[in-house]
């Protein structure tokens, strides 16, 4: 399966509008519409069936950089990846932190696209905030992005649930009956592929605690966006699960 190009063009345009506007309500509307379009497309039973027959399972590497915001960026990418049935680990080495994402090629494409847009929207709002000291500003911005990531995960899950319920109660039952077995098989194939591809992984240490003020403001911002240290050797790690 190749990603439907017309759908991708529409999504890119919506996300570009969300990034460009200074109006939070407009950003919310554009991002929500993009998320809904992606969810409806990828959860179409015909698309799921085609993926199982002919789509390629792949690994994609996404650079997360280095410094104080790396784990927060990872949290945002993880929220997007898991909403699209992708598995993710990360590795930290002399070149910085890199996420390794496993999934079907179409899902990897929309994951990268949505992550970059949501990160750009968050970064614009983070840059506008200053605290009393550089260290306090850094702590607040990091907390903001962690809260933003958590809320994004909730919003994408809601978009997915909405996509499976279109067409009324009877239509929803038919849709779910057609979708669930193959969707579960797709998810199982991704997990098996990821386990074989990632090799040995360890659970990463939890990220440092977030400040309440930054976290809650990040949560509110995500609602309106509706939608390290150097190591001698490189080792892959699993992001901590939800707490």
Most confident of 15-24, 63-72, 166-175: 63-72
Structural domains counted in the chain: 1
Cα–Cα dist 69/139, whole Å: 9
Residue 243: inside a domain: no
Mean pLDDT, rounded, of the chain: 78
212: helix, strand or coil: helix
Cα–Cα dist 28/39, whole Å: 16
Tokens of 168: 């009324």
Within its chain, how far is the Cα of 76 from the centroid? 6
Lowest mean pLDDT among 44-48, 158-162, 177-181: 177-181
242: helix, strand or coil: coil
Residue 27: inside a domain: yes
Tokens of 89: 């680990």
C-beta neighbour count of 187 within 10 angstroms: 14
Residue 19: inside a domain: yes
- pLDDT surpassing 70 at residue 230: no
pTM of the model as a whole: 0.72
Tokens of 147: 């809260």
Residue 195: inside a domain: yes
More confident site: 209 or 102: 102
Cα–Cα dist 63/179, whole Å: 33
Cα–Cα dist 172/180, whole Å: 12
- pLDDT surpassing 60 at residue 173: no
Strand positions, DSSP E, the chain: 57-65, 87-93, 96-104, 202-203, 235-238
Closest CA to 39 of 145, 116, 111, 115: 111
Domain with 143 in it = 5-227+229-238
Residue 130: inside a domain: yes
Mean pLDDT of the 112-123 span = 88
Mean pLDDT of the 42-66 span = 76
Mean pLDDT of the 172-189 span = 65
Mean pLDDT of the 229-233 span = 32
Q: What angle do CA 71, 73, 75 make, to 5 degrees?
A: 70
Mean pLDDT of the 195-219 span = 78
Residue 227 and residue 148 in contact, taking contact as beta carbons nearer than 8 Å: no
Quick: pLDDT tens for 5-26. Answer: 777 788 888 888 888 887 777 8
């Amino acid at each position: 399966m190749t990603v439907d190009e017309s759908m991708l063009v529409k999504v890119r345009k919506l996300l570009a509008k969300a990034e460009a506007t200074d109006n939070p309500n407009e950003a919310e509307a554009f991002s929500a519409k993009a998320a809904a379009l992606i969810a409806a497309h990828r959860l179409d039973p015909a698309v799921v069936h085609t993926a199982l027959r002919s789509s390629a399972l792949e690994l994609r590497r996404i650079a997360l950089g280095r410094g104080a915001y790396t784990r927060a960026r990872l949290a945002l990418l993880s929220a997007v990846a898991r909403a699209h049935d992708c598995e993710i680990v990360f590795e930290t080495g002399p070149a910085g932190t890199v996420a390794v994402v496993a999934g079907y090629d179409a899902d990897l494409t929309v994951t990268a696209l949505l992550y970059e847009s949501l990160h750009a929207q968050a970064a614009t709002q983070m840059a506008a905030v200053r605290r009393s000291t550089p260290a306090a500003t850094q702590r607040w911005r990091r907390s903001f992005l962690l809260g933003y990531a958590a809320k994004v995960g909730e919003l994408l899950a809601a978009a997915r649930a909405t996509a499976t319920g279109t067409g009324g109660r009877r239509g929803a039952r038919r849709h779910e009956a057609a979708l669930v077995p193959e969707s579960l098989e797709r998810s199982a194939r991704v997990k098996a592929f990821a386990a074989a591809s990632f090799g040995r992984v360890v659970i990463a240490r939890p990220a440092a605690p977030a400040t309440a003020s930054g976290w809650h403001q990040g949560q509110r911002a995500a609602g309106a966006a509706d939608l390290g240290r150097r190591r001698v050797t490189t080792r892959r790690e699993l992001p901590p699960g939800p707490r």
